[in-house]
């Protein structure tokens, strides 16, 4: 069977028309790709901003750690579900504040509150914050400026001893004061 020129042309038109009906136009594709590119650009910018902030924080912290003081020995342990500073803890903090003022007034303190695993996570986070804030307020009363201190609660997420024994839980009820230059 031999096809004529007009039959071939007609077949090409039919095949081309059916192919175009299922394909997107170039402009439609360009518009859709532009929308996706714009979204990707926003995500890339947000990611880059986050990376820049993280790198800046890392540069600030790098080499700045001086030392830490931990309030958790037998004389200054926090009671279960409590954030009150014992007289022994107050004495240690007074001595610590005196040392800070004598050594260098340009230090920054990060005061970390910790708890044992007794209680729910939200309660432990709140209790850790209360313990850190108790130390922060006391240090301020000793002359350490508030703008040189920050608090953070780790709740029960960073134990230093097993929470299975009363002794271990007592060690986990603590405040750590990180001194940074």
Look at the block and give the residue holding tokens 């050594």: 103
* HSE of 124, CA atoms in CB hemisphere, 13 A: 18
Identify the burial level of 71 via C-beta atoms within 10 angstroms of its C-beta, where 0-12 means exposed, 13-18 middle and 19 or more buried: buried
Please state, as a whole number, how many other Cβ atoms lie within 10 Å of the Cβ of residue 176: 20
To the question of pTM greater than 0.85 for the whole model, the response is no
Taking only the tens of pLDDT, the chain with its 181 residues reads 555 666 655 666 666 555 555 566 888 888 888 877 777 776 667 677 766 766 665 555 554 777 777 776 655 667 778 888 888 889 989 999 998 888 766 788 999 999 999 889 999 999 999 999 999 999 999 999 999 999 999 999 999 999 999 888 888 888 999 988 8
User: Three-class SS of residue 173?
Assistant: coil
Nearest to 108 by CA among 171, 48, 64: 64
Contact 117, 165 (CB under 8 A): no
């Amino acid at each position: 069977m031999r096809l004529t020129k007009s039959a071939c042309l007609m077949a090409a038109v039919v095949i081309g028309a059916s192919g175009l009906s299922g394909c997107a136009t170039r402009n439609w594709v360009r518009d859709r790709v532009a929308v996706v590119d714009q979204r990707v650009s926003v995500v890339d910018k947000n990611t880059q901003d986050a990376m820049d902030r993280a790198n800046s924080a890392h540069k600030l912290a790098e080499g700045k750690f001086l030392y830490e003081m931990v309030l958790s020995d037998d004389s200054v342990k926090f009671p279960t579900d409590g954030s009150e500073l014992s007289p022994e803890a107050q004495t240690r903090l007074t001595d610590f504040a005196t040392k800070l003022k004598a050594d260098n007034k340009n230090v920054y303190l990060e005061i970390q509150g910790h708890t044992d695993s007794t209680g729910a996570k939200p309660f432990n986070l709140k209790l850790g914050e209360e313990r850190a804030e108790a130390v922060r307020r006391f240090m301020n009363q000793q002359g350490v400026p508030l703008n040189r201190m920050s608090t953070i609660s780790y709740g029960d997420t960073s134990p230093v001893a097993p929470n299975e024994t009363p002794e271990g839980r007592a060690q986990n009820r603590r405040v750590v004061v990180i001194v940074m230059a």
